[in-house]
């Protein structure tokens, strides 16, 4: 079983800027976060398996979280010129997704039960099969923390990880949750 120190080592090796132990009891799934998804400002609501409603109801997401016993919050923090620097934001987001994919692959290879919650929608496929066909790569699909109804700033605060780093900075936050192995 991967413990907290090993998770931190994985985060460092993957290239994340910051990380913190995630106490799973601090995760609250909120309908108001799901309502923000339903406003569809990103254009992905109802269009992919990783986003609502494809990722399941809040109750279904809660069931996926039930057996998770420990985890880690991970961040990539980078520089932007200002709040209109979309190119800078995209560069930091791309770096975060690379770090995330690297750590996700390493954790999946460990054989432990892992629930990875990222940023934005899943990008495994150029076009999602939703809703006509099942997900092509369910073991690699990643929902965002928000898709699960998690208010990221609240979870960061509850676990001692900054969420805002001031002007000229942007942070992308994700998490990995793990389950204790079943006792035979």
Nearest to 112 by CA among 73, 151, 148, 71: 71
d(CA 152, CA 124): 23
**pLDDT at 73 exceeding the cut of 60:** yes
Q: Determine the pLDDT at residue 87.
A: 95
User: Mean per-residue pLDDT for 91-100?
Assistant: 96
User: Mean per-residue pLDDT for 62-85?
Assistant: 94
Q: What is the pTM (predicted TM-score) of this model?
A: 0.93
Q: Determine the pLDDT at residue 184.
A: 47
Quick one: tokens of 66?
């039930």
Q: Determine the pLDDT at residue 181.
A: 61
Q: Mind listing the pLDDT tens digit for each residue in 124-175? A: 888 899 999 999 998 888 999 999 999 999 999 999 999 999 999 999 999 9
Q: 50 falls in which pLDDT band (50, 70, 90)? A: very high
The DSSP code sequence of the chain is: ---HHHHHHHHHHHT-SEEEEE-GGG--B-HHHHHHHHTTSSS-TTTSTTSTTTT--HHHHHHHHHTEEEEEEEEEEEE-SSTT-HHHHHHHHHHHHHHHHHHHHHHHHHTS-EEEEESSS--SSSS--TTTS--S-TTT--EETTTTTB-HHHHHHHTT--S---TTEEEEEEEEEEEPPPP-
Contacts of 126 (CB under 8 A, 6+ apart): none
User: Mean per-residue pLDDT for 93-105?
Assistant: 95
């Amino acid at each position: 079983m991967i413990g907290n120190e090993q998770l931190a080592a994985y985060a460092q090796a993957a290239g994340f800027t910051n990380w913190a132990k995630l106490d799973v009891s601090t995760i609250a799934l909120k309908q108001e976060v799901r309502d923000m998804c339903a406003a569809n400002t990103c254009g992905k609501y109802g269009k992919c398996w990783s986003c609502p409603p494809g990722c399941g109801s809040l109750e279904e997401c809660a069931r996926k979280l039930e057996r998770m016993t420990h985890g880690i919050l991970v961040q990539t923090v980078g520089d932007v010129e200002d709040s209109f620097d979309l190119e800078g934001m995209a560069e930091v987001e791309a770096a975060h997704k690379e770090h995330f994919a690297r750590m996700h692959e390493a954790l999946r290879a460990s054989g432990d039960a892992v629930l990875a919650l990222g940023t934005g929608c899943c990008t495994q496929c150029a076009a999602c099969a939703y809703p006509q066909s099942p997900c092509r790569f369910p073991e690699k699909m990643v929902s965002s923390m928000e898709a699960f109804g998690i208010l990221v700033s609240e979870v960061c605060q509850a676990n001692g990880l900054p969420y805002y780093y001031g002007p000229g900075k942007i942070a992308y936050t994700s998490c990995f949750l793990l389950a204790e192995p079943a006792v035979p």
